[in-house]
Amino acid sequence: MGRKPKNQSANNAYQKHSKNTQDKNVFHSKVKMISRLRGMRDILPEEYVRWDEVINQARELFKYYGFLETDIPVLESQSLYEKSTGKQTDVVSKEMFTFIDKDGDKVALRPEATPGVVRSYIEHGMFNRTFQPVKLLWIGNLFRREKPQLGRNRQFSQINVEIFGEASAVADAQLIMLGYQFLKELGVTTQVQVNSIGDSLDREEYVKKLIMYFRDRKIRAKLSVDDKKRLMKNPLRVLDSKDEGTQSALEGAPQLIDNINDEARNHFIKVLEYLDEFDIPYILNPFLVRGLDYYNRTVFEFWPMRGANSGQNADSAESVEEAISRQSALGGGGRYDGLVEFMGGRPTPACGFALGIDRIINRMKEENVPMSSAGQPDIFVAQLGEAAKRQAMTFFEELRKKGYKAQQNFVKDSLKAQLEMAHKIGAKLTLIIGQQELVDKTVIIRDMESGMQEVYAFSRVFEEIDKRLK
């Protein structure tokens, strides 16, 4: 605290200040910080560079293909998800955040986006729009009370792409192509897993065969405890299990693709023909069913390629078993032709997919994809002196209006500190305004790579900037 004052009144004031300071320190030591809830996450400023890259790329690509961005409430009626997703799915039975509000209504934080988008489609009569099919893009946060682990938080972000009013196989194939192309352009090497689960009657007949297959005690004994429960409640979910014992038990199981009707089979063949034409690498996964009840016909998932960052050939195909064992799908989707009608709308064919932003970013880090330089400033504006600072602030706003990518730190007075920041952020040029430049109506342009700097009349500054940034 320093030496005590010599006079008594000052000494009394010193002791009082010292006691108050000690009391505050004691108080602060007793305050417990409120931490994040389990499974929730913060996105720090330096991490947002990748988030911006992923989201901006999504908007650019999908809007180019005619998808219109939409949004839906974070809170919906609990019955919306129970009806659309199915009460037997883990999303509804175990993972939803639900509560009863002050009006006595049962509400839920959205665990997935498609039901809300479908509700919006019906509620706003989008089937009457002039341009059909209706193609929608949604980007936002979802909430599931899952066990937190790498790539899986209780709050997570997702990109959803949906097409309403198109039944042809080209819609399925285009969605797969767009998802694959999106990940490829982000630098993530991806493989598509694809299957057809036929129509509802096909699945009813197949479930009977699957239950019959598991009547063999030796085979059923290989199932995990959870999968034995799934076999009783929702047998198709057993096919989607990642448990090694269950995977072993499924080796001799009947395959759903062999039990679909001719129309569904022909639809799927056309999807595969389009994928071949688009040169999309895919593997047929006969056990892919997705975890939600509303899917029919084509289902697909996007998986990172093994070996993409380990010296293996990224273009080489891997087995279904290898891909499944990694448990790290980046996203997936499929066709849900009956959902709109089931939710109270007109009969409307539909399909779509979702991509997990958190998982994509984790994969970009694993593959050492370099950070985008799209938002990196080209120019740093430095100033020296109070009057020069006011001029620099006006100049900075002019740069913004003209579309230049610039940065500043006007709270700093030291020119050295400002130049250090310009170097740290990777600016190509630093424009310096000091007291003399203010009088002379000039600006110093410093090349940050060479360290060379020259003085230019203010009237010539933008001409010189354009020349150098080319």
Which pLDDT tens digits describe the chain residue by residue (470 residues)?
445 445 555 555 545 555 555 555 544 557 888 888 888 888 888 888 889 999 999 999 999 999 999 999 999 999 999 888 876 666 766 788 999 999 999 999 999 999 999 999 999 999 999 899 999 999 999 999 888 776 678 999 999 999 999 999 999 999 999 999 999 999 998 999 999 999 889 888 888 888 888 888 888 888 888 888 888 878 888 887 778 888 888 888 888 888 899 999 999 999 999 999 989 999 998 888 876 778 899 999 999 886 554 333 334 444 444 444 445 789 999 999 999 999 999 999 999 999 999 999 989 888 888 877 667 889 999 999 899 999 999 999 999 999 999 999 999 889 999 999 999 988 999 999 999 998 999 999 999 999 999 999 999 999 999 999 88
pTM: 0.80
CA distance 422 to 432: 11
Instruction: Compute the distance between CA of residue 111 and CA of residue 145 in angstroms, rounded to an integer.
Output: 9
Return the pLDDT at 93: 66
Q: Residue 427: its pLDDT value, please?
A: 92
Cα dihedral angle (259, 263, 269, 275), rounded to 10 degrees?
A: -120
Six-digit token string for 18: 């010292």
Q: What is the DSSP string of 352-385?
A: EEEEEHHHHHHHHHHTTPPPP-TT--SEEEEE-S
The residue among 431, 435, 432 whose CA lies nearest residue 385 is 435
Element (H, E) at 192: strand 190-196
pLDDT of residue 323: 41
Nearest to 429 by CA among 386, 399, 385: 399
Task: List Cα–Cα distances, 133 to 136, 162, 334, 342, 344, in angstroms.
Answer: 10, 10, 16, 19, 19
Inter-residue contact 138 to 159 (CB < 8 Å):
yes
Q: What pLDDT score was predicted for residue 270?
A: 96
Instruction: Give the ranges where 165-306 is alpha helix by DSSP (H).
Output: 169-185, 200-213, 217-220, 225-233, 236-239, 244-249, 262-278
Distance, CA of 17 to chain centre? 51
Per-residue confidence (pLDDT) for residue 243, from 0 to 100: 80
Selection from 200, 216, 207, 436 nearest residue 338 by Cα: 200
Tokens of 156: 């997570």
Instruction: Name the burial class of residue 38, with classes exposed (0-12), middle (13-18) and buried (19+) by CB atoms within 10 angstroms of its CB.
Output: exposed
Structure tokens at 450: 């060479």
